[in-house]
Amino acid sequence: MAQFSHSVGSQTYRFDSLKDVMAKASPARSGDFLAGVAALNDGERVAAQMTLADIPLKHFLEEVLIPYESDEVTRLIIDTHDREAFATVSHLTVGGFRDWLLSDAADEQSLRALAPGLTPEMAAAVSKIMRVQDLILVAQKIRVVTKFRGTLGLRGRLSTRLQPNHPTDEPAGIAASILDGLLYGNGDAMIGINPATDSIASICAMLEMLDAIIQRYEIPTQACVLTHVTTSIEAINRGVPLDLVFQSIAGTEAANASFGINLNVLQEGYEAGLSLNRGTLGQNLMYFETGQGSALSANAHFGIDQQTCETRAYAVARHFKPFLVNTVVGFIGPEYLYNGKQIIRAGLEDHFCGKLLGVPMGCDICYTNHAEADQDDMDNLLTLLGVAGINFIMGIPGSDDIMLNYQTTSFHDALYARQTLGLKPAPEFEQWLARTGIFTQADGKVHFGNNLPPAFRQALAQLG
């Protein structure tokens, strides 16, 4: 295990390992202080960042943060690393890699080819020495395109997950939220419900209802009930129509074990989803959610800073060719991301690192009510991620999830981002919106109420 040091004037800062340098180089956040791995002050943080900048990228293949023998995520990272793809940047240090990423040589094609050659630790390391504008500039170069019934991730597009949660899973309440979201042009990423109960009967009933709505109105989207992967497997075995297979994941084997999963269980879920062959354009069918602090909250971080643990989760996601990956950035709470500033930085880091690794990143731009954050912070992060080329965001009635009790982005927030930044929904969904009269081909704007064709207004009204 290598030791590192950096001198600033007469002061020499010493770091015991790559893990130590990485943790102390991270921008300040409450979770790393809670874990006892953060830099003691700004001076030590800058010294760690300067130290990190001089470490060769090759070193990340020589010194793993969790032993290969004891962690299956580490084994996945090392065993699937593409040395041929890595050759493009293998001669660079972390600082040199940052310079290359910001250069014209790092274009959409070269970054796509590089992704299999990068480990999560390399992506996390370079993000720690980048400014906000750097994270945005590089991320917007990268496009990770996925397909199921729609095409997500294309340049000039911004999709949304329509999230019609209800505190008692009441069908009429869910249907009313779906109607509301569709009328705002939301739902092209998917219609996804966080269930209030994990009973298999309730899960199957919601999946049946979502499939009936999508089929009846010929909506080019996909449905998901965010239940445990083993419950999704059971639903598939019962013959229930299921589009996307969901699971929360983390960046260490022990953290995943706290979710009741491992790589074999995820593989079983992936294969079960493939067996249904429900995608019309493609078979990207896994939906993963992550969040900085999940490994620490499970006491399964092994002294690794929370942002690096988060980025390791993207290696797990990448392995299963997901349709969507969602960092639920401010949901775990202020113990891990204390205020709006920390949430904004974390969201941009997650999006940058995921895209760099070839993962189709979205973000639940959110906070809990006991965090030092507000909706202005979320507007800032929404705008920054829109510029950075995020694949999708959340759409929830009034920004307030009444089942999960947190604040996120609303249906009309997607309209704001699309109008301000000149973005459109997924192409297949855009065409559906035009056919139904919700959007018009001429102006691409949303039309409500009496502007809709009467037959479609009556059909949608039946949802409620």
Residue 131 and residue 196 in one domain: no
The answer to whether residues 8 and 24 belong to one domain is: yes
Mean of the per-residue pLDDT values of the chain:
94
> For position 2, what pLDDT does the model report?
76
Q: Give yes or no for residue 441 having a pLDDT over 80.
A: no
Confidence of residue 361 (pLDDT cuts 50, 70, 90): very high
Residue 436 inside a domain? The answer is: yes
Both 378 and 432 in one domain: the answer is: yes
**Could you tell me which residues come within 8 angstroms of residue 100 by beta carbon, excluding any fewer than 6 positions away?**
89, 92, 106
- Answer yes or no: do 106 and 168 share one domain: no
Q: If pLDDT is split at 50, 70 and 90, which confidence band does 69 have?
A: very high
Asked whether the beta carbons of 315 and 357 are under 8 A apart, the reply is yes
The yes-or-no verdict on residue 334 having pLDDT over 60 is yes
Is the separation of the CB atoms in 406 and 369 below 8 Å? yes
Same domain, 223 and 98: no
Indicate whether 451 pLDDT > 60: no
Last residue of a domain, one of 141, 168, 199: 141
Lowest mean pLDDT among 3-12, 21-30, 373-382, 425-434: 3-12
- At 280, list the tokens: 């019309």
Among 83, 114, 141, identify where a domain stops.
141
For residues 387-397, average pLDDT: 96
The domain spanning residue 43 has which CATH number? 1.10.220.70
Q: 266 lies in a domain?
A: yes
Rounded Cα distance, 242 and 150, in Å: 16
Rg of the chain on CA atoms, in Å: 22
pLDDT > 70 fraction of the chain, expressed in percent and rounded: 95
Region 210-235: mean pLDDT is: 96
Tell me, yes or no, whether 453 lies in a domain: no
Q: What is the pLDDT of residue 354?
A: 98
Residue range of the domain that includes 118: 4-141
pLDDT over 80 at 422, yes or no: yes
Once rounded to an integer, what is the mean pLDDT over residues 160-164?
96
The answer, yes or no, to whether residue 190 has pLDDT greater than 90, is: yes
Answer yes or no: is 197 within a domain: yes
Count Cα neighbours of 171 within 13 Å in the Cβ-side half-sphere: 13
Residues 303 and 367 in one domain: yes
Instruction: Identify whether residues 290 and 390 lie together within a single domain.
Output: yes
Q: Indicate the number of domains in the chain.
A: 2
Q: Is the pLDDT of residue 220 over 60?
A: yes
Same-domain status, 264 and 183: yes
Would you say residue 392 lies in a domain? yes
Say what the pLDDT of residue 404 is. 81
SS3 324: strand
pLDDT the model gives residue 9: 84
Strands 324-328 and 11-15: unpaired
Same domain, 137 and 177: no
pLDDT at 464 over 50: no
Residues 440, 433: Cα–Cα separation, whole Å: 8
pLDDT at 41 over 70: yes
At 8, is the pLDDT very low, low, confident or very high (cuts 50, 70, 90)? confident
Helix (H) or strand (E) holding 231: helix 229-237
CA distances from 34 to 127, 258, 301 (A): 21, 20, 12
Tell me, yes or no, whether 464 lies in a domain. Answer: no
Q: Which residues are annotated as a binding site for substrate?
A: 161-163, 194, 289, 364
Domain shared by 150 and 251, yes or no: yes
What is the DSSP secondary structure assignment for residue 372, as one 8-state letter?
A: B
Task: Please tell me the distance from the alpha carbon of residue 227 to that of residue 173, in angstroms, as a whole number.
Answer: 19
CATH number at residue 191: 3.20.20.70
Mean pLDDT on 232-250? 98
Final residue belonging to a domain, choices 106, 141, 176 = 141
Question: What separation in angstroms does the CA of 299 have from each of 17, 252, 286, 327, 411?
Answer: 20, 11, 26, 20, 36
Whether residue 136 sits in one domain with residue 151 = no
In the chain, % of residues over pLDDT 90? 86
Residue that wins the pLDDT comparison between 290 and 434: 290
The model's pTM is 0.95
Residue 343, H or E segment: helix 340-356
Residue 267 contacts residue 319 (beta carbons within 8 Å): no
Q: Are strands 406-407 and 400-401 parallel, antiparallel or unpaired?
A: antiparallel
Q: Is the pLDDT of residue 394 over 90?
A: yes
**Which residues carry a binding-site annotation for adenosylcob(III)alamin?**
195, 247, 297, 403
User: How open is the CA angle 148-350-269, to the nearest 5 degrees?
Assistant: 40
Q: Is residue 458 part of a domain?
A: no
Q: What residues contact 51, with CB distance under 8 A and at least 6 apart?
A: 4, 5, 6, 13, 15, 21, 25
| Spatial distance between the Cα atoms of 223 and 281, rounded to a whole number of angstroms | 15
pLDDT tens digit sequence for 411-420: 999 999 999 9
Establish if 460 belongs to a structural domain: no
Residues 44, 9 within the same domain: yes
Q: Residues marked as binding?
A: 161-163, 194-195, 247, 289, 297, 364, 403
* pLDDT class of 399 with cuts at 50, 70, 90: confident
Q: What is the pLDDT of residue 453?
A: 53
